Amino acid sequence: MLTEYDRERYDRQIMIPEIGEAGQARLQKAVVFIAGAGGLGSPVALYLAAAGVGTLRIVDNDTVTLSNLNRQILHGDRDVGRDKAASAEATLARLNPEVQLQCSAETITAANVVDLVRGSDLIVDALDNIETRLMLNQAALNLQIPMIHGAVDGFDGRVMVVLPGKTACLGCLVRGKPQAGKFPVLGATPAVIGAIQATETVKAITGAGRLLAGRLLRYDGLALEFSEFKINRHPQCPDCGRE
């Protein structure tokens, strides 16, 4: 049941017909796992906390560096050297003390990924390396938990929703070995992509609208264009392939 505090705090989104009080109640009961508290994880976590998602589980094993601060808006200069998980928890607690925060500095590995995401209603991939992304993808498939994938590079970004057993997964999308290492990012690019990931998360929880399921949305910030591609399940996908 929503309290008067809830009705006032979330008044503007309760006014949205596709959400209403029932949708807000679903948000407050939801558990969302966010992998990463960096460029993408920052706007995702901020907007989901502001929206009143009941529990946010955030895992990031990194520490804040000065070079993070052009894009990782959960953190500031005073957080340099601090665990990103601890910094994220402090920022989000100030934003919305009603949200339950479970922030961990653990490293996501093949051995622990299933235990980390178990019990979540939805997974948000806000990572920056493909190996860990694919571990998360496999855990989502194994536990039948929807996953919102996002990625950025320079002015560009992409978003896709994985519905296990129904749509293409991240393994269907990845071909070959992507280049590893440092890559450029305009700070506003993960803001755009993270906001879309947060929107898809709210939609998935409340049942509002049409998800980016089986569709890849590409953002070109230089041209200010969005394009969309249909992504089919790959029969020989190492993660979800049917053969």
Please give the CATH topology (third level) of the domain spanning 4-230.
Rossmann fold (3.40.50)
**Residue ranges per domain, the chain?**
4-230
Above pLDDT 70, what percent of the chain? 97
Instruction: Reply yes or no on whether the pLDDT at 118 is more than 70.
Output: yes
What tens digit of pLDDT does each residue of 160-170 get? 999 999 999 99
Mean pLDDT across the stretch 27-38?
Answer: 98
Q: What is the pTM of this model?
A: 0.96
Give whole-number Cα distances, 38 to 4, 85, 152, 170, in Å: 34, 10, 12, 20
Strands 156-162 and 147-153: antiparallel
Mean pLDDT across the stretch 92-106?
Answer: 98
18 contacts: CB under 8 Å, gap ≥ 6:
206, 207, 208, 209
If DSSP codes are grouped into helix, strand and coil, which group holds residue 31?
strand
What tens digit of pLDDT does each residue of 47-86 get? 999 999 999 999 999 999 999 999 999 999 999 999 999 9
In angstroms, the CA 66 to CA 42 distance is 15
Strands 215-220 and 122-125: unpaired
